[in-house]
Amino acid sequence: MPLVKFRIKSRWKIKKNSLPTQHLKEICVVILQIIRTMATGQYQFANLNRFNLVFSTICILFCHALCDAAVKQSFQSSITGDSSEETSEIQQSTPPKSTIEISDPAQGTVWTVSETAKIQWETENIDTSKSIRFFLAKDDMVVQELGSFKNNSLAEGIALANNVGSGDQYQVVGIELFPDNKFQVAKYATSYFSIRNPIADARKKAALAKRNSPKEDISRNEFEGRKISYVKELSFTNENISVSLWDHGRQDGDIVSIYLNGKTVVSKHLLTYRRKKVSFKLDPDKTNELFLYAHNLGTAPPNTVSIELTDGSTSEKIILNSDLKSCEAVQIKVK
């Protein structure tokens, strides 16, 4: 009987010399030996009793089952192998993770606004042709963009903005520009360090000193071209003042206004014997000025007004005169 050659044909890309292939070859050899034994002679095969025939059939079916199991195992192995290869290809195509670490400035560093600053850093998996952008931050807010620099580990001559104030809660933040993997952008924030701005500190100190210094008492000499004459100085313990005013002498149609520190308290009021009452608040930090302004001369010039001022505990009565060229006034202080 001619030698029977078995060729393994598979649609599942079974690799040569793999373990499933070797098992399949061994099974084929066993099947071949059984067939050769059973085909030794036609008369012998025909005279096999029923037991031998059944036994032989069982052997053939068993070998067939082994062969089918080997093929299935090869199919599963090929799928697992393909999946592993695809996973490996994906891992190889994903760029390695990039990192940035800034070494200067660090905790304890002090920058001065009047001097230029420098930044030192190290990176991993970022090409030297790429750029890093740096920001100055304070309290999680960007204060100034420091610039973008090539990835050469050093940036010098960085000018700080003049409006950057002194403080100890500053950070430099570095971010990778145009990363190879947009889902893994390298970034880094330094520890807190200090910045000093002597010029801004001096301005702030001068403004604070001016705000806290006693206000100078500068008396008003004129108002709208009219000379102001101070006739009396008053003092009260309370800054809230009530005022009553009326025409002094006879009613002659005088129309006047009352001003406190240049602001109108009574506007164009026709004086009569009936008292007009108003209230105002004094400035306790300076000398206040209350003056009379005449809008006409009436029938008997000058305009004359009686005024009574009280803070609830102290009362003062005064008489002020005014014409179209001058105004009389009083100075009032809070004790």
Please tell me which of 83-97, 116-130, 299-313 the model is most confident about, judged by mean pLDDT. Answer: 116-130
Q: What is the structure's pLDDT at 186?
A: 94
CB 194 within 8 A of CB 155: no
pLDDT at position 227 over 60: yes
Strand 326-334 versus strand 226-236 pairing type = parallel
- Average of per-residue pLDDT across 311-333: 92
The 3-state DSSP class for residue 78 equals helix
Query: How do residues 65-121 score in pLDDT, each as one tens digit?
Result: 555 655 555 556 555 555 555 555 555 567 789 999 999 999 999 999 999 999 999
What is the rounded CA–CA span in Å between residue 257 and residue 307? 12
The 10 Å CB-count burial string (b at 16+, else e) for 150-176 is ebeeebeebebeeebeeeeebbbbbbb
pLDDT at position 163 over 70: yes
% residues pLDDT > 90 (the chain): 56
Q: Which one-letter DSSP state was computed for residue 185?
A: -
The 3-state DSSP class for residue 45 equals helix
What is the rounded CA–CA span in Å between residue 75 and residue 10? 9
What is the rounded CA–CA span in Å between residue 282 and residue 70? 107
- Average of per-residue pLDDT across 212-218: 56
Q: What is the structure's pLDDT at 218?
A: 54
Q: What is the structure's pLDDT at 8?
A: 46
What is the rounded CA–CA span in Å between residue 199 and residue 309? 49
- Average of per-residue pLDDT across 134-162: 94
What is the rounded CA–CA span in Å between residue 53 and residue 36? 15
Element at 201 (helix H, strand E): helix 198-212
Q: How far apart are the first and last CA of the chain?
A: 137
- Residue 2: pLDDT band with limits 50, 70, 90: very low
The 10 Å CB-count burial string (b at 16+, else e) for 220-239 is eeebeebebebeeebebeee
More confident residue, 158 or 251: 158
pLDDT at position 60 over 80: no
Contacts 24+ apart (CB under 8 A), 91-96: 94/181, 95/125, 95/180, 95/181, 95/184, 96/125
pLDDT at position 155 over 50: yes
Q: What is the structure's pLDDT at 3?
A: 43
Q: What is the structure's pLDDT at 42?
A: 47
